[in-house]
Structure 1
Amino acid sequence: MRSLVASAALCVAMTGFVAAPATAAPSYDEYVALGDSWAADATFNRSLLTTEFVPPGCAQRISNFARQVAAALSVTSFRDAACAGATTADMTAPQPVERDLYLGTNTPQFDRLTPDTDLVTILIGGNDAGLAAAVRGCITPDPAISPCRQTWIVDGVDRMSQQIAAAEPKVTAAVAGIRQRSPAARILMLDYFEGVAANGGCWPTVPVSPTDADWLAAKLVELDAMLARVAERTGVQLVDTYAGSAGHDACQPPGVRWAEGLVPYTSDPPGPAVPFHPNQLGVDYQARSVLAALAE
């Protein structure tokens, strides 16, 4: 395995991220990162892809927020289990990942935890609720058509709200699983920052109708509120990335937006992008948010 120091140095050099002062947070020896594609900070840019801890199908970015945090804290041991498409079920079960002709399986994410783990970050729940998959179904060539609301709201009942509520006990159980395996760990739970703008969106730049853009924005708020409830109930620390992300959604111009829209290309840095996921500016924002939370 490559040394953490070498990997972290590469991440900082690639992103221009400025590490926090060493005195900004307590010291940690063993850091484990868990989560889905927003934790892996998934990328289609093969020059930024890392397979150090996961198979290539996980699309894990070598400069993701967890690696930046590990570099800033100079932890002795670091393992990153985050994988695109992950749900809470993949914390304890193998996750088959087949993407771009890559075959492989990400071992259960909790396998990286030990009794000596003293720092854990987790970002999970979007796939449990099905919100990530729902975004793709909102794409429309006609702004007068709102396929998401038509699909998800039936007889006045919002099924996405139901799925978000159903995901809550699963995320709660994931926190309990971390505590069981790493009882001394400080646990930070991240939420999802704003990716699709409310107030009508920006069709056709992001080809989602104004009605569906507002619906998606509201569902993300619901999802983040659920994560906040879990954090409060379980006593873990919430890293609220949503609160500081206004004005950096996918409707904004390059250099301002922290998440990409439908077009699978980003200028930050130039290259292939995963639609509706953080670009490097968003990744750096996540890292800053975690380090600020650790310093509290």
Structure 2
Amino acid sequence: MRRVSILLASVLALTLVVPGLASAVPRQQFEHYVALGDSYTAGPFIPWQRLDPLGCARSTNNYPSMLARELGTRSFTDESCSGADTTHLTQRQQVPLGVNAPQFDALRPDTDLVTLGIGGNDHGVFGDIVGVCPALRGSDPTGTPCQDHFTVDGEDTLKAAIADTGERVTEVLAGIHERSPQATVLVIGYPRIAPPSGTCPAVLPFADGDYAWLDDIEQTLNAALAKAVADDGAATFVDLYPPSLGHDACAGGDAWIQGQHTNPFAAASYHPNRAGMAGVAAEVAATLG
């Protein structure tokens, strides 16, 4: 998410470096794995952070890194970067203290495994939610002030934006197939942020009624990704929504998602922690058979 760039500027000195509906696809020995994605792939502040560039907040213990170790791939390239949207797959991305090359630059004809986790930053959807909703809670703590804010003339503007994001992801998949025609391609969904019932305003400072709306927005995004995969016809969608039940930000010690407060030694606010990355890696590995 874009707000990670702001957080990075104040805690760079604290970082350390150490060198659905998915159906299982046939298990094979993957030799050349490339990971593409945004901060939910990169893993900001999960130890240990890489330097290539540091501004991408890319962890050596994000789910692609865990998956690569599990699979024993001969080569592994992680191009994920915090703040990335679909345009940064083909364009350079400016980040604090550096530039991330177009993520597609890592794709080769002999790439045989690609994971893609993207979409939440397109049209600023996730950034708008975490940037606007907490501030609106005080105006109507038990109501739906954030949903009301993003509803214009009866239309949920974020849902409308997500529909376009799905179309962009379909185009992204075509680009992956063109560059790496032999690759197994997995599109990774987003895990739950909000619980199916109940609230935890100290962790997720949203108005009570906005919890269901937040969950609905996330389900809409995952549905758009699943549709993009179906339209593509050659990729596989890894749906994290069912397995992340009981691991939302309100789940305490079982949470896969950090709450509103960044822990510079564990996870960025509203982002996966190491346990969450392990959970995602396990689901991706299971999808691979």
The interval holding the TM-score normalised by the smaller chain is 0.7 to 0.9
> Which residue, out of 130, 134, 137, partners 1:139?
134
Q: Distance in 1 between matches of 2:270 and 2:121?
A: 13
Contact 1:36–1:123 (Cα < 8 Å) also in 2 = yes
Contact 1:116–1:184 (Cα < 8 Å) also in 2 = yes
Query: Do residues 123 (structure 1) and 125 (structure 2) align?
Result: no
How much does 1:146 deviate? Answer: 4.0
Amino acid at match of 1:81: E
Identity percentage of aligned residues? 38
**Bigger CA drift: 237-246 or 145-154?**
145-154
How much does 1:41 deviate? Answer: 1.9
After TM superposition, what 4+ stretches of structure 1 lie above 3 angstroms from structure 2? Answer: 144-147
> Which residue, out of 31, 34, 47, partners 1:32?
34
* Cα distance change, pair 199–155 in 1 and its aligned pair in 2 (3 A): farther
In structure 1, runs of 5+ residues without a counterpart are 1-9, 12-23
Contact 1:199–1:210 (Cα < 8 Å) also in 2 = no
* SS in structure 2 of the partner of residue 292 of structure 1: helix
**Bigger CA drift: 138-147 or 213-222?**
138-147
> Which residue, out of 171, 181, 184, partners 2:182?
184
Measured against aligned partners, the alpha-carbon deviations of 1:169-220 in whole angstroms (never above 9, x if no partner) come to 1111110010110011000110001012243532233211111111110000
Contact 1:200–1:211 (Cα < 8 Å) also in 2 = no
2:84 matched to which residue of 1? 86
Q: Distance in 1 between matches of 2:222 and 2:124?
A: 14
**Bigger CA drift: 241-250 or 124-133?**
124-133
> Which residue, out of 194, 197, 221, partners 1:199?
197
TM-score under structure 2 length normalisation: 0.86
Amino acid at match of 1:232: A
Q: Distance in 2 between matches of 1:83 and 1:201?
A: 31
1:171 matched to which residue of 2? 169
> Which residue, out of 267, 273, 282, partners 1:279?
273
* SS in structure 2 of the partner of residue 83 of structure 1: coil
* SS in structure 2 of the partner of residue 130 of structure 1: helix
Contact 2:166–2:228 (Cα < 8 Å) also in 1 = yes
Q: Which has the higher contact order (CA 8 A, sep 6+)?
A: 2
Q: How many residues align?
A: 261
Amino acid at match of 2:134: I
Q: Distance in 2 between matches of 1:203 and 1:63?
A: 29
Write the mapping of 1:7-46 to structure 2, written as runs, cut at 5 A.
Answer: 25-43=27-45
How much does 1:288 deviate? Answer: 0.2
Q: Distance in 2 between matches of 1:83 and 1:241?
A: 20
Write the mapping of 1:253-264 to structure 2, written as runs, cut at 5 A.
Answer: 253-254=252-253, 256-264=254-262
